[in-house]
């Protein structure tokens, strides 16, 4: 099973959660989808699809997924390093 973790901007309500969940499940009905609306974090465990496919499905549903595997803190983007760490906590190690 592969784990895909994203920060998804534009997610503001339960309808957004439902829309993203449906988009993911359309690719892999057996996927486990956990969404934390407050932190805009979407975590997906899937056997059938890869990160690129999942990100594309979320984007096609009308949202902007940011793959947390590739996320780097840049002070010019705004926010503190502590906020960056809080937003990206629990990202699995790539080791």
Q: Rounded to whole angstroms, how far apart are CA atoms 87 and 68?
A: 9
Are 68 and 91 contacting, i.e. CB atoms less than 8 angstroms apart?
yes
Look at strands 41-46 and 32-36 and give their pairing: antiparallel
Q: What is the pLDDT of residues 15-73, one digit of tens each?
A: 999 999 999 999 999 999 999 999 899 999 988 888 889 999 999 999 999 888 655 55
pTM: 0.72
């Amino acid at each position: 099973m592969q784990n895909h973790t994203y920060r998804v901007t534009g997610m503001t309500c339960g309808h957004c959660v439902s829309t993203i969940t449906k988009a993911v499940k359309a690719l892999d009905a057996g996927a486990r989808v956990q969404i934390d609306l407050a932190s805009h974090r979407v975590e997906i465990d899937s056997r059938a699809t890869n990160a690129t496919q999942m990100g594309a499905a979320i984007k096609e549903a009308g949202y902007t997924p940011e793959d947390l595997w590739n996320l780097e803190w840049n002070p010019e983007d705004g926010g503190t390093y502590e906020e960056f760490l809080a937003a990206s906590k629990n990202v699995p190690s790539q080791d």
